[in-house]
Structure 1
Amino acid sequence: MKKLSIYITISFLALNFFSCKKSLNELPPQSKVEGNVIIDQKSAEVALNGVYYRFAEAGDDRGVQSTQTSYTHEKLPSSLAGFIENRTGASALNMNAVTPTAYDATYIWESAYLLINAANSVIKDVQLLPSNKIQEQRRNEILGEAYFMRAYGHYQLMAYYAQYFDVNSPYGVMIRDEPVTTSNIPATRKSVQESYDFILADVDKAIQDAPSAQSAKRVTSWTAKALKARILLNRGLESDFTEVVTLTKDIIANSPYLLEDHQEDIFKTKGLSSSEVMLGTVPFAAQVNKRDSYLYRDLPADIVKEPLSEIMNGDPRVAWCFHTVSDYLGISKFLGEQVEVGYMFRLTEVYLQEAEALLRSNGDIDEVKGLMKTVMGKAGITDFSSLDAITDRDELRMELYAETVRNLFCEDGQDWQALLRLPMAKIQELRPTIVSNTQFILPIPLVEFQRNPMIGDQNPGYIN
């Protein structure tokens, strides 16, 4: 597990260069992550590259430049959901009992604000560039990509540290809309409604201005639509479901992304060359960070827990998603030629988003089943008789939840969020350690209160 060496406030004040010898996302080999160095289009591209470095959590892993998203975006949320556990024993994550002083409270918090700060630097300086220093179309595209990253970072904070499930709650996100300096560190968290308004405004800018051409390495307007659908589905207002269906139908019908015929190929051989991957992270050539995260010294670093093995029981994906070594059942989903790639958005999620939005808005059951069958068929399932036999909407919702987990476990928290979208009684049945919705989110790290006394109250259910 990676250890964080600095807290977010210190990171903001450093305003240092992040450079590397290997290129990432096929962009210039050096990137300026924060700071006022954008003087023309070329330097704007370099600075934008720095935002992608932050997105990939690029850094030093035992002396090797590496992307380090496997814990923050994959294993941490799956541990919260009770699907995996460190081989050495259960953690506070597995018990849904993280404290404000724990490392686990800081990972997403720090990585999200580092990403936001890098995006804010690009937004501010690119907007100020004279028209003779940058092509207007590229200015807008760069801004669209940066707005996406700022929205993504703020939504990570919303999903893990704010009461995203209650639009009337005062416990929203501490919004950062400009680069952090010594004069603006103190900031107060917004309400949930204010937070949603800000995040969705950024997403809409990304939808409008980000490039539309297919890419798995860079933000596109299609990825922005998928992010908006993810946000709205988790917010869960009645009007949100209608918009989710509109967004997902547009992506499925009109985007350049296509489902793979064999889901296994995405993770084992194709990686970011897959037509299904909408946005992923490009690894450095020599890194082994993610492999070690799942298979350390040839033993599973984490073991599969019963809730996940039960959901996967009898599914053909078990053959390549799990592996047993010395009686330990581990995750082999990512182990293969493309092991170090990180997957943030895939088209499969869009199909499942549409199915869930339809089901929760009293849509046609047969249409829901059709979307599910399309996805399940790509995973090697040929017998749909049990799915066809379901007539009860609540039963179908549980089957859709199970299929979401089978497809998206250990992928950017989608298994954890899918669990929390179920009715509370079902959540407690599946995850007995959750006794209150206060455990849906993590505590704000204690260090933030020490260095930013204006932030406001700690999340309910936690004591500093």
Structure 2
Amino acid sequence: MKKKRKTMKLHTLLYTLVLGLVFGSFSSCEKDLNALPSQAVVDETVVVDQNSAQIALNGAYYRLANTGLNLSVQSTRWSNVNEVIPAMMAGWMSYGFGATTTDTHDYTPASTGDWSYAYFILNAANGTIAGVEAVADSKFTGNRKTEILAEARFLRAYAHFHLLSYFGEWFDLNSIHGVLLRDKPLIFGNGNNQPRSTVKDSYAYILQDIDYAITHAKENNPAHYVNKAAAQALKIRVLMSRGQQSDYTALITLADEIIANPNYALETSLKDLFQSKGLTSKEVILGITPYPTQRSRNATYEYIQSSVYIASPAFKTLLANDPRASWMLTPSTHPTVLIYNTDPQYLTKYKGTHYEDAYVFRLTEVHLLKAEAIVRSGGSLNTAKTILKNIMGHAGVTDFSAVDNATTTDQVLYQIYLEFSRNFVSENGVDWFALLRLPYETVKTLRPTITTKTKYIFPIPATEFQTNPSIGDQNPGYPKE
């Protein structure tokens, strides 16, 4: 047993060194995520019991939140990776000081930071899983061991799906360009050199982890921790992405279960959700709790120092005659921003007492994905339109003529896409992938810079081919370096 613990200790130290991951000490394993580590220390933490397992799991949550320094303050930098980049690709946001390769979809193998973000989550989740599985059940109370494993496997599935969505041909189930699946932490000499999986196998592995989480996660958990409903919401998103007819049927069933869950309800006012309630809203299924003094999102959407991301003219046009324009958009009068833009608009969607709260899953997405699945499975267009109008009503919309006038499958899907864009602008990539699920000819019309489907995804970073020659070919249309 002593030898096993020594091996586990070395294992933990090695993957901690590789990640730069902090497993700080906590007085209670149930502390909220606003009690985040205040300093970076390489610690030889060993998963030996329930408390240390929770500390390890919190480390994986910190990777999900993209924790680090922003404006010299420890912050959750969720918006840097999960909001502005996909919103720029979707055409709804732009860099405040001129067009970038993200706006124009001119990606290079040297400019794809999302890769390391996802693999940091994977390493932390896999380290937690390996540590917890090595500890005797008697070291945990009740079902806590399987619950921790469920949360860690959710995070592993989330990271793998992120990679598949941004670096794999998720839209082609027969493609060989899937995910480089990792089921163990990266430590020196443990077989890090491996090929990527097919898209079909990638989906299967992701869903296997999600199904474990659905079965074993807690029914109830604070909004910043994974529970059963969060796992169901992730599965809904994955099923819509895979897009088989059987997936739509399963999606609708899962959506109905979440919608019927008394722990969740649509917020009466979308504005109140973002600007006054944040993660306390019953609409939030999973979110990211910020550090108390951070200004990370504030500095992303309003000019404070060196950079800013603003709403695009296309998004201002999208909100024309929509009541959300009055609080989602605010003219910028900052002289530096005015140098580069005519009539620049700050995205003030999140501005308020919960400015820094971030959202992984909201109930609104479940409703809209259900409506989309109904349409794609050949169901009632009127039923889908009713769901859509209900969601729009919660955002203050009273004119539903565009929805009422949509009479074909493509027209209704387009209206659903528009609401995804309005409701989820700059929110966890929901706006970007709603666009990509439209027919390719429509996508090209809406975003002319997407001249080929290869621009749906990023190239694999050049460094990966150097450190892992077995990974295989670069994504179609891109060079290796």
TM-score calculated relative to the size of structure 1: 0.93
Q: Kindly indicate whether residue 399 of structure 2 is the aligned counterpart of residue 383 of structure 1.
A: yes
Alignment match, 1:59:
68
Q: Following superposition, which runs of at least 4 residues in structure 1 exceed 3 angstroms of deviation?
A: 9-12, 18-24, 26-36
Alignment match, 2:143:
137
Give 1:100's match in structure 2, choosing from 106, 109, 118: 109
Shift of 1:395: 1.3
Distance 1:279 1:307 in 2: 29
Shift of 1:299: 10
Distance 2:280 2:115 in 1: 30
Distance 2:349 2:21 in 1: 36
Alignment match, 2:290:
283
Q: Kindly indicate whether residue 271 of structure 2 is the aligned counterpart of residue 271 of structure 1.
A: no
Q: Which moved more, 1:296-305 or 1:14-23?
A: 14-23
The 5 A counterparts of 1:103-142 are 105-106=112-113, 108-142=114-148
Give 1:17's match in structure 2, choosing from 5, 13, 22: 22
The 5 A counterparts of 1:40-439 are 40-102=49-111, 105-106=112-113, 108-183=114-189, 184-213=191-220, 215-297=222-304, 301-326=308-333, 327-439=343-455
Distance 1:206 1:398 in 2: 33
What whole-Å deviation, never above 9, does each CA across 1:284-341 have from its counterpart, x for those lacking one? 0111111001102399922322332222221111111111023311211111111111
The residue matched to 1:457 in structure 2 has which SS?
coil
**Contact 1:215 1:278 survives alignment (8 Å):** no
**Contact 1:33 1:50 survives alignment (8 Å):** no
**Contact 2:26 2:55 survives alignment (8 Å):** no
What whole-Å deviation, never above 9, does each CA across 1:410-434 have from its counterpart, x for those lacking one? 1100000000000001000000011
Distance 2:119 2:306 in 1: 33
Alignment match, 1:440:
456
Distance 1:189 1:51 in 2: 23
Distance 2:297 2:318 in 1: 24
**Contact 1:36 1:121 survives alignment (8 Å):** no
The residue matched to 2:218 in structure 1 has which SS?
coil
Distance 1:274 1:20 in 2: 30
Alignment match, 2:5:
none
The residue matched to 1:296 in structure 2 has which SS?
coil
The residue matched to 2:427 in structure 1 has which SS?
coil
CA distance change for structure 1 residues 122 and 364 in 2, over 3 Å: closer, same or farther?
same
CA distance change for structure 1 residues 129 and 26 in 2, over 3 Å: closer, same or farther?
farther
CA distance change for structure 1 residues 286 and 21 in 2, over 3 Å: closer, same or farther?
farther
The residue matched to 1:454 in structure 2 has which SS?
helix
Q: Which moved more, 1:386-395 or 1:20-29?
A: 20-29
The residue matched to 1:460 in structure 2 has which SS?
coil
**Contact 1:173 1:189 survives alignment (8 Å):** yes
Distance 1:347 1:174 in 2: 30
Distance 1:20 1:150 in 2: 23
Shift of 1:135: 2.0
What whole-Å deviation, never above 9, does each CA across 1:67-107 have from its counterpart, x for those lacking one? 001110000001111211111111000011110012xx12x
Q: Which moved more, 1:149-158 or 1:299-308?
A: 299-308
Shift of 1:11: 7.9
Shift of 1:65: 0.9
Please tell me the root mean square deviation across aligned C-alpha atoms, in Å. Answer: 2.3
Shift of 1:392: 2.1
For this pair of structures, how many residues does the alignment match?
Answer: 453
CA distance change for structure 1 residues 220 and 255 in 2, over 3 Å: closer, same or farther?
farther
**Contact 1:16 1:34 survives alignment (8 Å):** no
Gaps in structure 1 of 5+ consecutive residues: 1-8
Alignment match, 1:5:
none
Distance 1:142 1:223 in 2: 14
> Which residue type is aligned with residue 25 of structure 1?
L
CA distance change for structure 1 residues 391 and 114 in 2, over 3 Å: closer, same or farther?
same
> Which residue type is aligned with residue 71 of structure 1?
N
**Contact 1:223 1:279 survives alignment (8 Å):** yes
Shift of 1:447: 1.1
Alignment match, 1:6:
none
**Contact 1:214 1:257 survives alignment (8 Å):** no
> Which residue type is aligned with residue 123 of structure 1?
I
Shift of 1:220: 0.8
CA distance change for structure 1 residues 308 and 14 in 2, over 3 Å: closer, same or farther?
closer
> Which residue type is aligned with residue 146 of structure 2?
N
**Contact 2:66 2:117 survives alignment (8 Å):** yes
**Contact 2:210 2:234 survives alignment (8 Å):** yes
> Which residue type is aligned with residue 305 of structure 1?
S
Shift of 1:383: 2.9
Distance 1:396 1:138 in 2: 44
The residue matched to 2:451 in structure 1 has which SS?
coil
CA distance change for structure 1 residues 255 and 189 in 2, over 3 Å: closer, same or farther?
farther
Gaps in structure 2 of 5+ consecutive residues: 1-13, 334-342
**Contact 1:300 1:328 survives alignment (8 Å):** no
Distance 1:20 1:332 in 2: 37
